[in-house]
C-alpha cells in the first residue's frame, strides 16, 4: 500500500514522520467499511490493552438527542497495526447491552470521556459512574461490573460527587495497576479521587481525595485551579499526577506517595496566575484540555485552542517550568496548521509529539507532527489530514478527520486518530522509525 507522508514542503522523510495507511468508517468512499454496526460516532477517548493486542474506544453519545448512543468498542490489533472491530457494548443498536445486576442500562456510558485498560480490566468514566469491564482472552469485553456507580449499592460513595454535577471526568492509572485516579470538576468545585484497585476482581475501593471546594475532600490550599474539566496525567515514575484544567488554563502538580498512593499539592502554572500559580510568558495555556508526559519524564505537553505548550519537568521532584509553545496563541511560535489542538500524545521513543488539530467550523482536520529537540522544545515537522491541502498532505477520504478527536500512539511505529462526528472514524498512520 502506498503511503501519504506528512512532511513540510521540500522536506525529506525522517524519524517520526507519519504516513497515511487507512481509515475505518461507515460507508465513506475510500475507507474500510467497519461493518453493520459503527460504535465510533462521538468517540471521546481510546486506550490499548497492556499486551498490545486490542484497542478500546469509548464514545459518550450525542448528549441525549438519540441520534448517537454511547458505546465502548474493541478493535483487534494485527501484526501490521491494522485494526478490526470485534465487538461493542452500550446503547448502539447491534452492540451488547450494558447491565447492572441483570438490569439493562442503555445510557450507562452516556457522557463517557475517558478510558483506561489495566490488567484484565477496562474502566470508563462518565459524569455518573466509573464503569468497569472484564476482558476475555481475545481482548473483547465480557461483563461490566460496578466500580463507582449509583446503580450499585455495594460501591463506595465518593465524597461530594453526585451524578451529573460534573462532566468530562478524566482517569489515570499507575503502571503497576494498583491505583486509579479520577478527576471530576465543575460547578465551582473539583477533586481527584484515589481508588485502590483489586487486581483479581477489578473492584475499586475509595482511599481519599484532594481538591477544591469539594465536600469531604482535603483542600489543596489554592482556589480556581481545579474547578473545570480537563485531564489527569501520571508521570511514568508514578511520583507526579498533573491536573490540566481548561479554566483558567492551569496545570496543578500533585505529588504522589509511592507507598500509599496519596496525593499532596506541590505547585501550579496558570495562564492568569490564579492563587499564586506561576505565570507563563505566552498565552499558550488558555483553554488547555489534554496533556502527555514523556516516558523519560523530562517534559509535559498540554494542548488547547492556541497550540501545544511545553513544560520542562524536573525528574527528581516532578516540578514544572513553562518553556514555550507552538501554535496560534499570543507569544507562541506561529508554525504549523493554524487551528485548535484538541489532543496531544508523545511517541514511545520520545522523539515526536503529535497533535490532533481542527480548523474553524470543522473546515479541516489533521494529525500534526511536532519534532522534539534534546531539551524538549518543539518544531513543526508536517501534517496529514483533510481539507487543508496547502499545508497538510491529503489522506483522500473526506468527512473523517475534520471533527478532530483523540489520538493514541502505542509503541513507536503507529499513530491512531479518531474522528468524532458525524460518521465516526478511526484513521491509522504508520510512523517512520529510521
Is the pLDDT at 272 greater than 90? The verdict is yes
pLDDT in tens, 130-157: 999 999 988 999 877 777 877 776 567 8
Tell me the pTM.
0.95
* CA separation for the pair 109, 161 (Å, rounded): 17
CATH number at residue 419: 2.130.10.10
Is the pLDDT at 354 greater than 80? The verdict is yes
Is the pLDDT at 10 greater than 70? The verdict is no
Is the pLDDT at 102 greater than 80? The verdict is no
- Count CB atoms within 10 A of the CB of residue 119: 18
In this predicted structure, what is the pLDDT of residue 1?
A: 38
- Which letter does DSSP use for residue 333 in this model? B
What's the whole-number mean pLDDT along residues 90-99?
A: 90
b/e string for 345-370 if b means 16 or more Cβ within 10 A? bbbebbbbbbbbbbbeebebbbbbbb
In this predicted structure, what is the pLDDT of residue 155?
A: 67
Mean pLDDT score of the chain: 92
In order, the DSSP letters of 303-368 are: EETTEEEEEEE-TTT--EEEEEEEESSTTSB--S-SSEEEEEEE-TTSSEEEEEEE-GGG--EEEE
* Three-class secondary structure of residue 304 per DSSP: strand
What's the whole-number mean pLDDT along residues 113-127?
A: 95
pLDDT in tens, 278-326: 999 999 999 999 999 999 999 999 999 999 999 999 999 999 999 999 9
pLDDT in tens, 233-270: 999 999 999 999 999 999 999 999 999 999 999 999 99
Asked whether residue 91 is domain-assigned, the answer is no
Q: Which of 178, 185, 252 is nearest to 220 (CA)?
A: 252
Containing structural domain, residue 420:
294-434
What's the whole-number mean pLDDT along residues 333-345?
A: 96
Asked whether residue 161 is domain-assigned, the answer is no
* CA separation for the pair 403, 216 (Å, rounded): 39
pLDDT band at 221 (very low <50, low <70, confident <90, very high): very high
Asked whether residue 256 is domain-assigned, the answer is no
Q: Is-contact 243 232, C-beta < 8 A?
A: yes
pLDDT band at 7 (very low <50, low <70, confident <90, very high): low
Asked whether residue 160 is domain-assigned, the answer is no
Asked whether residue 5 is domain-assigned, the answer is no
Asked whether residue 420 is domain-assigned, the answer is yes
Asked whether residue 37 is domain-assigned, the answer is no
Asked whether residue 323 is domain-assigned, the answer is yes
Q: How many domains does the chain have?
A: 1
Amino acid at each position: 500500500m502506498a503511503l501519504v507522508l506528512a512532511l513540510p514542503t521540500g522536506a525529506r522523510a525522517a524519524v517520526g514522520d507519519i504516513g497515511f495507511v487507512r481509515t475505518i468508517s461507515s460507508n465513506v468512499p475510500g475507507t474500510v467499511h467497519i461493518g453493520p454496526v459503527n460504535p465510533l460516532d462521538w468517540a471521546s477517548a481510546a486506550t490499548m490493552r497492556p499486551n498490545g493486542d486490542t484497542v478500546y474506544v469509548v464514545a459518550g453519545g450525542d448528549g441525549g438527542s438519540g441520534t448517537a448512543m454511547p458505546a465502548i468498542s474493541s478493535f483487534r490489533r494485527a501484526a501490521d497495526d491494522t485494526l478490526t472491530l470485534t465487538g461493542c457494548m452500550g446503547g448502539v443498536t447491534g452492540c451488547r447491552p450494558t447491565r447492572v445486576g441483570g438490569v439493562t442500562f442503555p445510557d450507562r456510558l452516556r457522557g463517557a470521556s475517558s478510558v483506561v485498560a489495566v490488567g484484565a480490566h477496562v474502566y470508563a468514566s462518565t459524569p455518573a459512574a466509573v464503569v468497569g469491564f472484564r476482558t476475555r482472552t481475545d481482548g473483547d469485553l465480557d461483563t461490566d461490573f460496578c466500580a463507582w456507580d449509583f446503580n450499585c449499592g455495594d460501591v463506595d460513595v465518593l465524597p461530594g460527587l453526585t451524578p451529573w454535577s460534573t462532566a468530562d471526568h478524566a482517569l489515570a492509572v499507575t503502571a503497576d495497576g494498583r491505583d486509579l485516579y479520577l478527576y471530576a470538576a465543575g460547578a465551582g468545585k473539583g477533586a481527584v479521587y484515589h481508588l485502590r484497585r483489586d487486581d483479581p476482581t477489578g473492584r475499586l475501593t475509595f482511599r481519599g481525595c484532594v481538591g477544591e471546594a469539594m465536600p469531604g475532600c482535603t483542600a489543596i490550599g489554592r482556589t480556581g485551579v481545579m474547578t473545570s474539566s480537563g485531564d489527569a496525567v501520571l508521570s511514568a515514575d508514578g511520583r507526579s499526577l498533573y491536573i490540566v484544567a481548561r479554566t483558567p488554563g492551569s496545570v496543578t502538580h500533585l505529588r504522589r506517595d509511592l507507598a500509599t498512593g496519596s496525593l499532596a499539592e506541590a505547585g501550579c502554572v496558570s495562564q492568569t496566575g490564579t492563587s499564586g500559580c506561576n505565570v507563563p510568558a505566552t498565552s499558550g495555556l488558555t483553554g488547555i484540555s489534554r496533556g502527555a508526559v514523556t516516558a523519560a519524564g523530562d517534559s509535559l505537553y498540554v494542548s488547547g485552542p492556541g497550540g501545544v505548550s511545553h513544560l520542562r519537568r524536573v525528574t527528581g521532584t516532578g516540578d514544572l517550568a513553562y518553556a514555550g509553545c507552538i501554535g496560534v496563541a499570543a507569544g507562541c511560535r506561529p508554525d504549523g496548521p493554524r487551528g485548535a489542538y484538541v489532543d496531544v500524545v508523545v511517541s514511545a521513543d520520545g522523539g515526536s509529539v503529535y497533535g490532533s488539530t481542527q480548523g474553524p467550523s470543522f473546515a479541516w482536520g489533521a494529525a500534526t507532527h511536532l519534532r522534539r529537540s534534546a531539551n524538549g522544545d518543539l518544531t513543526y515537522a508536517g501534517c496529514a489530514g483533510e481539507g487543508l491541502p496547502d499545508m497538510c498532505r491529503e489522506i483522500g477520504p473526506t468527512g473523517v478527520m475534520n471533527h478532530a478527536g483523540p489520538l493514541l500512539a502505542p509503541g513507536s511505529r503507529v499513530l491512531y486518530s479518531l474522528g468524532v462526528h458525524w460518521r465516526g472514524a478511526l484513521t491509522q498512520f504508520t510512523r517512520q522509525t529510521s
